[in-house]
Structure 1
């Protein structure tokens, strides 16, 4: 009970620090409940067997990968929040708290946020689910008399899967926090140390291998299996994107030296500060790179795989069937919902990471850095994070696209319009700028003396 009271007290004291996690869980719960409601709709008395099968397929496809993406997004935000609280957790250890009690504190906070977010996500989930059913009706994927139902499956499956994803994410964050000693956390509260964990490298490598395996399967044994081929191609993009996102801190460390060499002659203070931040705060900056990677990989991969499918059918004189329209609608729904969630995670992580650096910016101003130089440094940092994410996301999309293109047309590099890719790049850059620059200005708006002192988070 003492740990539970401490968790609720921490939530009250650090309300701002939990907003990002709350918004991520809220968006994830709304998406998962919305698509779980399709299972309730499929159970309606007037729903035909074909319509019920279509609704279950969409619910399973979006819900399954949605759970993975939601867990991934919540994990990145939770880990970011825990790293920003190293000094606080170190003080708890210094006064006798055990790693298990620290873990219960972090998990308790996560569960409280998840329950509140899931409860508030019911109304938007109903609206999203209804919009999906109406979209399926307009494209003749289901009959027009099928009405949306939001019942027990949505109310049970949605919150439970959201809570499961949050529990997994907070448990991993708690385990990581428990391994850091009090002395270590107090002396390195603002500086990250150590290489990327072995578990993270293994998980990232396994997911990347799974993505490559899916692409190879499409290119060889699943060439003309209709929906199955498209589904596996999408899985290749998603698995590769998450795998590369987990490995993104390695890439960020690798690009720090080239950036330093490229900017050394300019003697720009902003570039120097940015390179130092990339080196010392690699995993915190990776919290921006990871959602960019997932967003880019999923959006670019799905758009071009669908384009290749349509172009190949047209070249072969294959008429567009109801199944083809259904697959296209499903792909657009998947890319819309999960990309929207990835965009929310990107914005939240940008804002949360920069608002938590008020004290750091205050200390930098104390030793002579100007607000303009710090804004320039933030621009360099976020630009580096976004560029790395775009590069990794492009690679993950190319894995799925190449496998699908070779399976359908015999070529791994089909001639495709660049506009969808450029649109995704513009979207990522726009979201990053919209999130990072106002947050940095808000941190710099705090008077230098106040900012350099202790902050409440």
Structure 2
């Protein structure tokens, strides 16, 4: 077997599409950690006696609050992208095992690929993060949320910390991803290279239940926060929604199969051929379906949670302000509007929440597009076999269109469930009731956006995956 570094670089050259998603995810992760690390460095290196912000919590608190969720989401996207990069290489890795490659060599190969991909995007990630830090700090200063004398330092430490974090997460994810192929026998690895797991394993099921319980505890913590700690309640609710989405990822095959069974029934009745094929494909490959719906659920769940929480806080503040004004007019006393109308709903805080939402949507969009494209391209050999069996390209694209609609619907429903739970917990802390204020128009745009991403994310790569001679694709194993 050639040296491991040479094989790893060869895989990157042979399958650039397989690693494009991982490169984009690592680029975002590096930029994110560099961004918030640079903001913390700006606050820590400020000269003694530098005045604090005129309004808002200050740069360090903003960076820590933003970074807590954004970094977790970024690395969730990295792990997801790496999983698909490995999946697209599964056949090659199985062939290497059959050619006498040891499990240790396979793990080293995967680590080499992660290292090469991360180093490739390190400089662009640092530059993007440093530039974003300067722009973000300027925006904070314009809103009197940062001292005007603060500046982003030119220290390389934030970038080096970002690189170390990205490598740590990437290597940890690669260890998990390479475990299946490296621990099986060469024959079993080769024969199972294209197989979809039939059932959810007991370990994964137990882990999913445990994570689900952990998410519930975080939401309970958010719901029991006192009225003067609404920012902490919001952070706990948002973190709880992210933990619930991890549970969705673990329990996805079970939930996705159940939802498709219900949603597919009317499609089978309306379109007996196309609808039946799409429904059978999705239910027959529950793990593949779960992989597709998780990023859609991530997009809708986080976006919906942020949107509903912000609207709930605004409505609560409006009611508190109106009530205080009435009492003040009647009693002629200087009553305050209460904690619900404090910094939670100030113009600066609303801007911060909108910026955080935009960042989370960016991460979730990258995860959604990368996952759908990778899954569709991975089915190229399957499409060729269907074409050899008599299916026309038009029929395949019609079936995939129905699959895209069902995938978007399942992802939106799972994300809506997470958003509903997190928003109810936040609403309990803000208003004392589990019924949050739901902006119907904004939620409709979120669901529509998920559909807009899902349809081209499946159909555009399908146009490429269904081209070329079917017999040659089947004989070649569906390689790029």
Query: CA 1:416 to 1:353, structure 2 compared with 1: closer, same or farther past 3 Å?
Result: closer
State whether residues 249 and 294 of structure 2, in contact with CA within 8 Å, keep that contact through their aligned partners in structure 1.
yes
Deviation at 1:323, TM superposition (A): 6.6
Query: CA 1:115 to 1:284, structure 2 compared with 1: closer, same or farther past 3 Å?
Result: farther
* Counterpart secondary structure, 2:228: coil
State whether residues 230 and 429 of structure 2, in contact with CA within 8 Å, keep that contact through their aligned partners in structure 1.
no
State the alpha-carbon separation in 2 of the partners of residues 441 and 397 from structure 1.
Answer: 34
Q: Does 1:443 align with 2:443?
A: no
Deviation at 1:337, TM superposition (A): 1.2
Q: Which moved more, 1:187-196 or 1:402-411?
A: 187-196
CA RMSD between the two structures: 2.5
* Counterpart secondary structure, 1:212: helix
Aligned equivalent of 1:76: 80
Aligned residue among 441, 444, 447 for 1:425: 447
Query: CA 1:353 to 1:95, structure 2 compared with 1: closer, same or farther past 3 Å?
Result: same
Alignment of 1:216-227 (within 5 A): 216-227=220-231
Q: Give unmatched runs, 5+ long, in structure 2.
A: 322-336
Aligned equivalent of 2:12: 11
State whether residues 361 and 452 of structure 1, in contact with CA within 8 Å, keep that contact through their aligned partners in structure 2.
no
Query: CA 1:267 to 1:94, structure 2 compared with 1: closer, same or farther past 3 Å?
Result: same
State the Cα deviation string for residues 164-205 of structure 1 (Å, max 9, x = none). 221121111011322443333333333312322344333332
State the alpha-carbon separation in 2 of the partners of residues 131 and 322 from structure 1.
Answer: 23
* Counterpart secondary structure, 2:450: helix
Q: Does 1:358 align with 2:359?
A: no
Q: Does 1:20 align with 2:21?
A: yes
State the alpha-carbon separation in 2 of the partners of residues 128 and 199 from structure 1.
Answer: 41
Q: Does 1:110 align with 2:114?
A: yes
Aligned equivalent of 1:63: 67
Q: Which moved more, 1:92-101 or 1:272-281?
A: 272-281
Aligned residue among 431, 454, 461 for 1:409: 431
Alignment of 1:139-150 (within 5 A): 139-150=143-154
State the alpha-carbon separation in 2 of the partners of residues 66 and 405 from structure 1.
Answer: 22
Aligned residue among 280, 287, 292 for 2:291: 287
Q: Does 1:296 align with 2:308?
A: no
What is the TM-score of this pair, normalised by structure 2? 0.88
State the Cα deviation string for residues 326-376 of structure 1 (Å, max 9, x = none). 543332232221220110111111112212222221111111011111112
Q: Which moved more, 1:289-298 or 1:42-51?
A: 42-51
State the Cα deviation string for residues 57-76 of structure 1 (Å, max 9, x = none). 22222323333222221222
Deviation at 1:88, TM superposition (A): 1.8
Aligned equivalent of 1:29: 30
Q: Give unmatched runs, 5+ long, in structure 1.
A: none
State the alpha-carbon separation in 2 of the partners of residues 406 and 347 from structure 1.
Answer: 35
Query: CA 1:397 to 1:182, structure 2 compared with 1: closer, same or farther past 3 Å?
Result: same
Query: CA 1:147 to 1:167, structure 2 compared with 1: closer, same or farther past 3 Å?
Result: same
Q: Does 1:456 align with 2:476?
A: no
State the alpha-carbon separation in 2 of the partners of residues 432 and 451 from structure 1.
Answer: 25
Q: Does 1:254 align with 2:255?
A: no
Q: Which moved more, 1:58-67 or 1:318-327?
A: 318-327
* Counterpart secondary structure, 2:52: helix
Q: Which moved more, 1:26-35 or 1:218-227?
A: 218-227
Alignment of 1:378-417 (within 5 A): 378-417=400-439
Query: CA 1:253 to 1:416, structure 2 compared with 1: closer, same or farther past 3 Å?
Result: closer
Q: Which moved more, 1:285-294 or 1:255-264?
A: 255-264
State the Cα deviation string for residues 380-417 of structure 1 (Å, max 9, x = none). 22222222211111111111111111222122113432
Q: Does 1:87 align with 2:91?
A: yes
Query: CA 1:134 to 1:3, structure 2 compared with 1: closer, same or farther past 3 Å?
Result: same
State the alpha-carbon separation in 2 of the partners of residues 53 and 150 from structure 1.
Answer: 24
Query: CA 1:126 to 1:361, structure 2 compared with 1: closer, same or farther past 3 Å?
Result: same
Q: Which moved more, 1:50-59 or 1:346-355?
A: 50-59
Q: Which moved more, 1:52-61 or 1:291-300?
A: 52-61
State whether residues 66 and 338 of structure 1, in contact with CA within 8 Å, keep that contact through their aligned partners in structure 2.
yes
Aligned residue among 164, 179, 190 for 1:175: 179
Higher Cα Rg: structure 1 or 2? Answer: 2
State the alpha-carbon separation in 2 of the partners of residues 10 and 108 from structure 1.
Answer: 10
Query: CA 1:433 to 1:306, structure 2 compared with 1: closer, same or farther past 3 Å?
Result: same
State whether residues 30 and 159 of structure 2, in contact with CA within 8 Å, keep that contact through their aligned partners in structure 1.
no
State the alpha-carbon separation in 2 of the partners of residues 264 and 304 from structure 1.
Answer: 34
Deviation at 1:259, TM superposition (A): 5.2
Q: Which moved more, 1:372-381 or 1:83-92?
A: 83-92
Query: CA 1:292 to 1:267, structure 2 compared with 1: closer, same or farther past 3 Å?
Result: closer
State whether residues 42 and 53 of structure 1, in contact with CA within 8 Å, keep that contact through their aligned partners in structure 2.
no
* Counterpart secondary structure, 1:436: helix
State the alpha-carbon separation in 1 of the partners of residues 184 and 215 from structure 2.
Answer: 33
